[in-house]
Amino acid sequence: MKKIVNTLKRDWIVLIIIILQFVLGAYFYKSLPNKIPIPIHWNGNGEADSYAGTLYGIFSVPLISFGIYILFIILPFIDPKRENYKKFNSTYNYLKYILIIFLFIIEGITILASTKSSFNTAILVKIMGSLLLILIGNVMGRFKHNYFVGIKTPWTLASEEVWRKTHRMAAPIWVIGGIINMFLSFTRINLNSITPTIIVIIAVIPMVYSYIIYHKMSKGI
């Protein structure tokens, strides 16, 4: 309990951001017309392609932020590899911050789209998605062996060395994928199929690599 309390004290900025999300949601919920469709999902072009009612649409992102934060608090206590979290504590906190900030911005985009603002939310969605890949990839090589955060395949979980090599290999691929997607965001190219393809590629390559490197190491190659 003491560790959790200390964590909450250290995370006061994150907690303020989450509270602001709920405050922002409550403010605009009262000002938006009842039953107005709220965008809750965007396609590769940054265009809203799924909508929800006002209550769910406005408060779903703050609730997701709160849920993710709770998970970040709990995971180091329930992971069998809990001792390893101390080895990448700063990176773990960095990941927590960028995810919460990312969701805070997504809520702002949701509200802008709901108020029919003339602001180009599509380009902002594409930029934010690309930036998230870059920021995560930038620190991926620092993730230590655990069961929750990182590239979890049977082979990375079976070997700390395979985990280390896989994440160091995957880190620049994620960054490059994010940069390519961001560059394409400023063009007229339709990203509905390109963005998902980039995500699949940067996810599958490390999985295949972990399999190959594991079996090479098992054979002593």
**Domains of the chain, residue spans:** 2-218
10-residue block means of pLDDT along the chain (221 residues)?
A: 73 92 88 69 70 78 94 93 94 95 90 71 85 96 96 96 97 96 86 88 96 88 56
pLDDT at 109: 84
Helices (H), the chain: 2-10, 12-31, 54-78, 89-114, 121-140, 154-158, 160-185, 194-218
pTM of the model: 0.85
Two structure tokens written together for 153: 């395949």
